[in-house]
Structure 1
Amino acid sequence: MRPHSLKLSPDSDLIICIKEYSLSNNLYGYVSGVVGNLSKACIQCPGNQEISKFEGNLEIVSLNGNFNNGDVHIHLSFADEGCNVFGGHLEEGSIIKKGTDILLVSFENETIDISNQNLTNNQSRVKVYILKNCPWSKRSLRLLDSLSIPHEAILIESDKEFQKVNSLSNHNTFPQIFLDDVFFGGYDELSKQAKHDYLNSFK
């Protein structure tokens, strides 16, 4: 375990700084602590496709999540000048105001990639076929996680794998979500179902 203390300058983008630092140093780990403020905050709330944007003197209350060689999943909460607190998934566009200090903790253990091979024992009803760096794939997994829905995430990395899932769904866009091995839809259909019954029908 190794600590990393980052001092972010004004006008820096919070999530981009963490992404770039973890990518350039090939790091896997977690956000351990933060002190600082923002002039702008961009977050996504569970079940909501739109990005919520805030401006003003915003004090960071907490920042937690993980980073993996440039891929990040981080939650931000912050307070405005009236001490109203907001929170959600951190998105690009969250800009440092005066300065922010972040403590990251990285680990030496090998990072495990999502693949068919290491998820074959997962007996969940939901299978999500995803593409690397696909924002809609990431949002689908976040939504399932936020509602505690067991799921199997399968990363498509080759034309052969794409053709295989395409033959099952007859769709070209991602993510592709299956319930009990029957094609359900993508992120839009998942979000609509979440608003309908919080995905209880998926459990």
Structure 2
Amino acid sequence: MEIYAIRLTEGMDLKIEIQRVVKEKQIKAGIILSSVGCVSKARFRVADGINVKQINKNMEILSLNGTLSPNGVHLHISYSNQEGVSFGGHLVEGNIVNTTCELVIGILGNYKFTRVMDPNTGYGELITKTQEL
């Protein structure tokens, strides 16, 4: 596994920057290993698969995980507010980095991830293939 680490700075959109890294580094199969930081605006889709919540307050990122492929990322995030209450869901665009976000990505060199529309779920679902090294 190859490791790529980056620091995102104030004003950057978390999901857009992850997608940019995937494209720029030509990541064929990746995973989020670590993400530590904070946002000034949090946006996430909740478990009903439809509704998006938005919170315009400083939030700590507690965890971010998911898979990265050239034709899509699937990411879940959890936050903590100023009272220490935690919540989260599916990461969507619009999560704006406050001061910093330290992001570490694992690149799986012997895999290729793609996403194919699944008529049962209505989403592009992960297809994994191993490649000869």
Q: Are the equivalent residues in 2 in contact too, given 1:20–1:70 (CA < 8 A)?
A: no
Asked if 1:52 corresponds to 2:62, the answer is: no
Aligned match of 1:128: 119
The CA distance in 2 between the partners of 1:7 and 1:81, in whole Å, is 23
* Superposition deviation, residue 62 in structure 1: 0.3
Kindly tell me the number of residue pairs found equivalent between the two proteins: 125
Residue ranges of structure 1 left out of the alignment (5+ in a row): 116-126, 131-135, 143-152, 154-203
Q: Are the equivalent residues in 2 in contact too, given 1:19–1:70 (CA < 8 A)?
A: no
Moved over 6 A (4+): none
Q: Are the equivalent residues in 2 in contact too, given 1:62–1:77 (CA < 8 A)?
A: yes
Q: Are the equivalent residues in 2 in contact too, given 1:23–1:70 (CA < 8 A)?
A: no
Aligned match of 1:137: 123
* Superposition deviation, residue 18 in structure 1: 0.5
- The structure richer in strand per residue is 2
RMSD: 2.3
Give the alignment's TM-score, normalised by structure 1.
0.56
Paired-residue identity, %: 26
The CA distance in 1 between the partners of 2:79 and 2:89, in whole Å, is 10
The CA distance in 2 between the partners of 1:137 and 1:60, in whole Å, is 26
- The structure richer in helix per residue is 1
Aligned match of 2:21: 21
* Superposition deviation, residue 112 in structure 1: 4.8
For the pair shown, the structure with the greater C-alpha radius of gyration is 1
* Superposition deviation, residue 25 in structure 1: 1.4
Greater relative contact order structure (CA < 8 Å, 6+ sep): 2
Give the alignment's TM-score, normalised by structure 2.
0.84
Alpha-carbon spacing, 1:97–1:114, altered in 2? closer, same or farther (3 Å): closer
